[in-house]
Chain A
Amino acid sequence: MPPRILILTVSGTNRDRDAALACELAGGKPEVVHISELLSGARRLSSYQMLVLPGGFSYGDDLGAGRILATDLLYSLGGRAQPAEGASALADTLAEFAESGKPILGICNGFQALVKAGLLPGPIDGRNGQLVTLVGNASNRFECRWVYLRAEPGSPCIFTRSLDGPIYCPVAHGEGRFIPLDEAILAAIERHKLVAVRYVDANGDLAGYPWNPNGSVANIAGICNEKGNIFGLMPHPEDHVFPWQHPRWARGEEGASGLALFRNGIAYAAQF
């Protein structure tokens, strides 16, 4: 049985179908589910083995990109380990889903929401809550361009295990610049190897704009939690799953390198 994958949508989600197709190609069974179906009880989180928070502009970026989706995750879907007053009465919570080790992937707006909910990087050195953020690109504008991502060796991230080469895929965002709360948080993230992917140039080396398309600190493109089952990144690997999507396919370059992340996640999800 291919693992069932929940692709969560809310008002303003827009790369749900891209993510679903990537999951299907990687051997999963994706279902695009609106949050109202979880809240009404028509569907249950616990019936799925993997969760994808796709890209888009959830709630029109009201109150900041990903902010309201973050409160949905924490409260409506029970993403907090200790349910607060007023939290969801859902029997199966996002906290249990994450705790059980099932993989969660946040792409672009999904990453912004995971970060703002404090689910990424998660509690670290005794500090919790929102420890990092994603703000306006250093170029001061929306950027749609292809970037190379280097998977960092030693990271616990289950999505980026043993990749054979860099991932090449587009970014498409106005607010993707990764910033930690302070130097200590950055040091802790590095020490725990929570940086899963960094922006690099065509040779695989750290480089500035446009290779690092948004001015992210330490070229950080995506991070995971300590367990490695929650992973978020700004770029869109789901938009490079066919060879002809490669911008230089007509020049004979090999493509579809975004698929590997989904294959890893889905292979891992199969155990649950």
Chain B
Amino acid sequence: MRLYRVQVDLKPDQIDWRGQALCQEASTLGLPPIESIRVSDLYFLAGELTLAECHRLCQELLCDPVVSTYSIAELTESLSSGPSVGHGAQVIEVCLHPGVTDAEAESLIAAARTIGVLSLSAAATGTRYVVHGALREQELRTLAERLLCNPVIQRYSLGQIVPELPLGQVGHGEKVEFIPLSAMGDDELERLSRERVLALSLGEMRAIAAHFARLGRDPTDVELETLAQTWSEHCVHKTFKALIDYEEHKAGRVERERIDGLLRTYIAAATYRLDRPWVRSAFTDNAGIIDFDEETEVSFKVETHNHPSALEPFGGANTGVGGVVRDIIGVSARPIAVTDVLCFGYQNWRFEDLPPGVLHPRRVFLGVVAGIEDYGNKMGIPTVNGAILFDDGYLANPLVYCGCVGIAPKGRHRRRAQPGDAIVMLGGRIGRDGLHGATFSSAELAADTGARVGSVVQIGNPITEKKLLEAIMIARDEGLYNAITDCGAGGLSSAVGEMGKEIGARVELEKAPLKYPGLDPWEIWLSEAQERMVLAVPQEKLPRLESICRALDVEMTVIGEFTADKSLRVFHKGRLVADLDMAFLHDGLPRRHLKAIWREPALRLEAPPERKELSHIVLALLRCPNIASKECVIRRYDHEVQGATAVKPLTGVANDGPADAAVLRPSYAAHPHRAIAIGCGLNPRYGLLDPYCMAVSAIDEALRNVVAVGADPEQTAILDNFCWGNPDLPDRLGALVRAAKGCYDAALAYGTPFISGKDSLNNEYTDPASGQRISIPPTLLISSIGIVPDVRQAVTMDLKGAENLLYVIGTTRDEMGGSHYGLVLGQDWGRPPALCPDGPEILRRLHRAIMAGLIRACHDCSEGGIGVAAAEMCIGGRLGLEMRLGDVPRSPDVQRADIILFSESNSRFLVEVAPEHAEQVEAHFAGVPFACVGRVSAEPTLKIWGPDGTVVVELPVHELVKAWQDQSYERPRPFTA
């Protein structure tokens, strides 16, 4: 056996783009300046390999001769000192921990066989970083630990590293503990819940203890962990099902009511009351499903991956995408789009001001975006819609919402496992990655969370999931399974427990394939190792499934079978390690009874003095991080793959204007022109004033977005994702109740059903120094999906031609609360936008006008109101606009130019109409608030007159473009002019 070390270096004249990217990221760590990082690849080759064969491997597989050179060193017992790196440079080398699957090394061994080198018997990969910069050893270690090395799977050395090559069999651990619940008092039960990251309340721990007391024994660790996962907030949404005593303090009055579950009373209730025939599945499957056409259905699911992304931004966001894509595969659909909505702290925090244990928001931003890019692009799913918001409240708890849309033929998704079906695990192997994800996401973050629960961070492999997808699509079309679910939070314990809920299941854990040795049974059972699906497969169909998996290189393992005994029995090498009654597992959770209070905050209603010169305000708003262009992110996501993207995220004459929503034409075969629109709405600034207004406004915005591009409001569905603080605190829960009420009222007003939802609670951080709790601003994301009857009629937001007329649809009210005008002024006042009674009729009329081809451009008014919408339309078309605010339809009390221009009232649009259609359009909109307010001009200037006839804004379009494309995302400085 010989062992070689191969180092592949870029030729000195080549730009080291990996090194440059790392340098940029390193600047977010608060280290002394780093001049450069050069990256080299390392390969360790073992076997009866001659030096000549080693050279062949380098020349044909490892080294790109155009840009790289390689060197080979045969490793003997004493390490060579290695090539000199020059003065002022330091070396960090990284490789995988012993036993961690080295996918690239496996690819290398396979490729070596392909080229006829059969003597390579083992291999490992590594990376070498040569760092130039005045870093002390401790700083070098910080660089390695924070950026270059993921401690879950990797280790590093300052200098040359020697990996352990994979040898022999992967074994299992043996340890099963009995947990002596019977001997524990309340304090001990609570401590146990905290120390094992079970995230169970005292009441829940007591219920478990009582159950096992009745059985006359203590639970095993496998049983206790299974219960904790199954009962986690993440899996059962116990807050949304809880009984709530609610108090509302508003306008000097107190109203009290008892709410029998938020989900049942509000969210799902709206869907059931509306009873839309085109809703195929709401709240029951892994994703919501609606009709696309006679033969086809579309599904949509949005998840959050907040806690993992706070600790390890790349891995957290990466597996967030992977997880929601599996939700769509879990309804037997092919993913056709990914969405992502991200909330971060402002990007200009100083390192010394960051709370302990909190990553710099720039690092979170870069890592999250790279994680989404990696997964979506590699799986070949276009990332087409999203938003990025900034607020200091997201500093310690960034939010990462990941959505996925899928398409499937109707009637192929099977959802009932049968007794006797094999339990089949497909996809990746099991490792210690992602343990306790479900319970961890249900707990709060503290300064030492990263160190304490390092192994909750998951590691994604999009190619494994792509292979899995293709195998499952064939299995679906051939009817090879009776039920399918993804292995998400809780791993096998949740997946098998859920699929066998009505019947029972028996699992033999030792059959499960592992990435590396030493996992104890409970770890195998709970691991959230990614890219796995569980299928219920009739025994006679196993051979066919096996042959599909073999051809597509997908690992398939039968780990047990579904039974009829209504219990969950888990064995390890013949030993019974869990024996749980399905009824207790799924129904034994005591219902929570919570207290909620909402107090209307004291609103400042008195407006600041009117400003007469608004050009600077328009520019400040365009530069504002929530409004400014996100092009630097959007272009990193492949939004064209699959060839279905008709309205793209960026649109207009220079392909850089902000589209209201994406339009996809997903199926050529059935309906060559039928399409879907995907949009979203959220505005946490309103939530701080009144979560009810936040909810109705988010729904209004999500609907405005899709209707503006051509979706039919009568065939649009929505999804809710609540990210909130700790629901055990009555004020946090009170805000949640208030938002749920808004969801119900708006959904009924618009006739728009919810088809899916998810909540992420406990987004709080406790500062160890002050003991202060920081909650995120309560944040409700509404995602929308609507049918566009004809893609050829889809409309974009960019101005199309000079002399066209500009109209405003909808009423402008004095609703400045939570506005972005208030944000850039540095003073908040007024009420947040309320539900607009004309809204539903406005959407219907607008849709008919769009389908009739009467609308040349359409843009909804959201952050920054009419002023920002008009400026963005100018940017999109690189055309000018002349606009008279005196003609804008508004409530009688609104007379100030700045309020007309920047109020964020709901249900409003700007539309561009060709002069020859003016009469027809005016007749069409008769009866709803609607007025011509100006015209498009060839001279590229945005010119706006106030109600008194004075010019309040006059800006060349190139200045608008420049301000809007400022993508530094720094906290707006209070406006002084």
- Which residues from chain A sit less than 8 Å from chain B, CB to CB? 11-12, 14-15, 17-18, 21-22, 34, 36-37, 40, 55-57, 59-60, 62-64, 67-68, 71-72, 74-76, 84-87, 116, 129-133, 135-138, 140-146, 170, 172, 179-181, 236, 238-239, 241-242, 244-245, 247-251
Given known A-B contacts A59-B463, A172-B377, A251 and B798 have beta carbons under 8 A apart: yes
* A-contact 0/1 string along B55-70, CB 8 Å cutoff: 0000011101111000
* Proximity bits, B344-379, A CB within 8 Å = 1, else 0: 000000000000000000000000000001000111
Q: In the complex, A116 Cα to B61 Cα: how many Å?
A: 10
Tell whether B796 is near chain A: CB-to-CB under 8 Å: yes
B742 to chain A, nearest CB (A): 34
Chain-A contact segment, one of B108-116, B485-493, B515-523: B108-116
Contact B64 A59 (CB under 8 A): no
CB-CB under 8 A from A144, the residues of chain B are 634-640
**Would B17 and A87 count as touching, CB distance under 8 A?**
no
List the B residue with the shortest CB-CB distance to A63: B61
Asked if residues A76 and B646 are in contact (CB atoms below 8 Å), the reply is no
Question: Is B194 close to A, CB under 8 A?
Answer: no
Known: A74-B115, A130-B64. 20 other contacts (CB 8 A): A15-B641, A22-B643, A36-B550, A36-B551, A36-B553, A40-B551, A62-B107, A63-B104, A84-B116, A85-B116, A140-B17, A141-B635, A142-B636, A143-B635, A144-B636, A145-B635, A145-B655, A172-B638, A251-B653, A251-B800
Are B640 and A71 touching (Cβ within 8 A)?
no
Report the bound CA distance from A62 to B487 in whole Å: 26
Chain B residues near A34 (CB, 8 Å)?
551-552
A-B contact pairs, 22 of them (CB 8 A): A14-B379, A15-B641, A18-B641, A18-B643, A60-B103, A63-B108, A67-B64, A71-B114, A75-B116, A116-B64, A129-B65, A132-B66, A135-B64, A142-B638, A172-B641, A239-B640, A241-B643, A249-B646, A250-B794, A250-B796, A251-B798, A251-B800
Residues of A within 8 A of B635 (CB): 141-145
> Which residues of chain B from 710 to 741 have a CB within 8 Å of any chain A CB?
none
CA distance A76 to B463 in the complex (A): 21
A17 and B634 alpha carbons, distance in the complex (Å): 23
The answer to the question of B169 belonging to the interface, with a C-beta cut-off of 8 Å to chain A, is no
Tell me whether A247 and B648 are in contact (CB under 8 A): yes
Chain B, residues 12-31, CB within 8 Å of chain A (1/0): the string is 00110110110010000000
Assess whether B461 is interfacial by the CB under 8 Å rule: yes
Shortest CB-to-CB span from A180 to chain B, Å, is 7
Question: CB distance A136 to B17 under 8 Å?
Answer: yes
Q: Which residues of B contact A37 (CB under 8 A)?
A: 551
Contacting pair A238 B643 (CB below 8 A) = yes
Q: Identify which of A14, A59, A247 contacts B655 (C-beta below 8 A).
A: A247
Closest B residue to A247 by beta carbon equals: B655
Q: Measured between C-beta atoms, what is the minimum distance from B461 to chain A in Å?
A: 7
A15 and B107 contact, CB distance less than 8 A: no
Q: How far is the CA of A245 from the CA of B65 in the complex (A)?
A: 38
The answer on a CB contact under 8 Å between A12 and B636 is no
The interface centre, meaning the residue of A36, A40, A60, A76 with most chain B CB atoms within 10 A of its CB, is: A60
Q: Report B663-683 CB contacts with A as 1/0, cut-off 8 Å.
A: 001001000000000000000
* Total A-B contacts with CB atoms under 8 angstroms apart: 175
- In the complex the two chains form, is A21's CB within 8 Å of B643's CB? yes
**Chain A CB within 8 A of B380 CB:** yes
Among candidates B67, B646, B652, residue contacting A133 with C-beta atoms closer than 8 Å: B67
Residues in chain B within 8 A of chain A (CB atoms): 14-15, 17-18, 20-21, 24, 60-62, 64-67, 103-104, 107-108, 110-111, 114-118, 373, 377-380, 461-463, 466-467, 550-553, 634-643, 645-648, 650-653, 655, 665, 668, 791-792, 794-796, 798, 800
Which residues of A lie under 8 Å from residue B103 when comparing CB positions? Answer: 60, 62
CB-CB under 8 A for A15 and B380, given A141-B636, A251-B798: yes
> In this complex, what residue of A is CB-closest to B105?
A62
Verify B636–A59 contact, CB threshold 8 A. no
Contact A59 B653 (CB under 8 A): no
Are A135 and B67 touching (Cβ within 8 A)?
Answer: yes
B contact residues around A116 at 8 Å (CB): 64
A245 to B648, CA, bound (A): 9
Contact B14 A135 (CB under 8 A): yes
* List of A residues within 8 angstroms of B651 by Cβ: 247, 250
Q: Is the CB of B17 within 8 A of A135?
A: yes
Q: Say which residue of B111, B118, B652, B800 sits within 8 Å of A68 (CB atoms).
A: B111
Among residues of A, the one whose C-beta sits closest to the C-beta of B709 is: A250
In the complex, chain B residues whose CB is within 8 Å of the CB of A249: 646
- Which residues in A have their C-beta under 8 angstroms from that of B638? 142, 144, 172
Q: Which residues of B contact A146 (CB under 8 A)?
A: 655
Chain A residue contacts of B461, Cβ below 8 A: 60
How many Å lie between the Cα of A201 and that of B373 in the bound state? 27
Q: In the complex the two chains form, is A250's CB within 8 Å of B115's CB?
A: no
Inter-chain contacts of B798 with A (CB < 8 A): 250-251
Q: 8 closest Cβ contacts across the A-B interface?
A: A86-B116, A14-B380, A136-B17, A133-B66, A62-B107, A60-B463, A172-B638, A170-B640
Q: Which of B115, B645, B668, B796 touches A71 (beta carbons < 8 Å)?
A: B115
Q: Are B551 and A136 in contact (CB under 8 A)?
A: no
Contacts A11-B553, A71-B60, A145-B655; is A140 near B116 (CB within 8 Å)? Answer: no
Interfacial chain B residues near A21, Cβ < 8 Å: 643, 668
**With A21-B668, A145-B655 as given contacts, are A76 and B636 in contact (CB-CB < 8 Å)?**
no
A108 to chain B, nearest CB (A): 10
The residue among A55, A63, A136, A137 with the most chain B CB atoms within 10 A of its own CB is A63
Interface centre among A11, A17, A22, A87 (most CB of B within 10 A): A11
Cβ 8 A contact of B643, one of A129, A245, A247, A250: A245
In the assembled complex, how far is the CB of residue A22 from the closest CB belonging to chain B, in whole angstroms? 8
Residues of A contacting B118 in the complex (Cβ-Cβ under 8 angstroms): 86
Question: Could you tell me the distance between the alpha carbons of A224 and B380 in the complex, rounded to whole angstroms?
Answer: 26
Shortest beta-carbon distance, B412 to chain A, in Å? Answer: 18
Q: Which of A12, A37, A116, A133 has the most CB of B within 10 A?
A: A12
Instruction: State the Cβ distance, B102 to closest chain A Cβ, in Å.
Output: 10
Q: Bound state CA distance, A252 and B651, in angstroms?
A: 13
Rounded to whole Å, the gap between the CB of A140 and the closest CB of chain B is 5
CB distance from B488 to the nearest CB of A (A): 22
Contact status A67-B61, CB under 8 Å? yes
Question: B373 contacts which of A129, A140, A142, A248 (Cβ < 8 Å)?
Answer: A142
Q: How many angstroms from the CA of A145 to the CA of B67 in the assembled complex?
A: 26
> Could you say which residues of chain B place their CB within 8 Å of the CB of A137?
17
- Contact indicator A11/B643 (Cβ below 8 Å): no
A14-B466 in contact given A59-B107, A135-B17, A180-B66 (Cβ < 8 Å): yes
Q: Give, as a whole number of angstroms, the nearest-CB distance from A184 to chain B.
A: 13
Q: Given that A37-B551, A132-B66 are known contacts, is A245 also in contact with B17, CB under 8 Å in the complex?
A: no
Separation of A87 and B114 alpha carbons in the complex (Å):
8
For residue B647, which residues in chain A have a CB less than 8 angstroms away from its CB? 250
Chain B nearest CB, measured from A246 CB (Å): 9
User: Are B104 and A62 in contact (CB-based, < 8 A)?
Assistant: yes
Q: How far is A85 from B638 in the complex, measured between Cα atoms in Å?
A: 40
Give every chain B residue within 8 A of A71 (Cβ-Cβ).
Answer: 60-61, 111, 114-115
Q: How far is the CA of A14 from the CA of B338 in the complex (A)?
A: 15
- A57 to B641 Cα, complex, angstroms: 12
Please, which residue of chain A has its CB at the minimum distance from the CB of B794? A250
Cβ contacts under 8 Å, A14 to chain B: 378-380, 466, 641
Report the minimum CB–CB distance from A86 to chain B (whole Å).
Answer: 2
Find out whether the CB atom of A179 lies under 8 angstroms from the CB atom of B66: yes
Q: Are B378 and A60 in contact (CB under 8 A)?
A: yes
Looking at the assembled complex, report how far the CB atom of A220 sits from the nearest CB atom of chain B, in whole angstroms.
Answer: 13
The residue among B20, B67, B108 with the most chain A CB atoms within 10 A of its own CB is B67
Expressed in whole angstroms, the Cα–Cα distance for A226 and B104 within the complex equals 34
Q: A11-B463, A84-B116, A247-B648 are in contact. Are A18 and B636 (CB under 8 A)?
A: no
Query: Most chain-A CB neighbours within 10 Å: which of B24, B462, B640, B646?
Result: B640
- Residue of B with least CB distance to A57: B378
Closest to A88 in B: B114
Contacting pair A142 B377 (CB below 8 A): yes
Q: Shortest distance in angstroms between B566's beta carbon and chain A's nearest beta carbon? A: 40
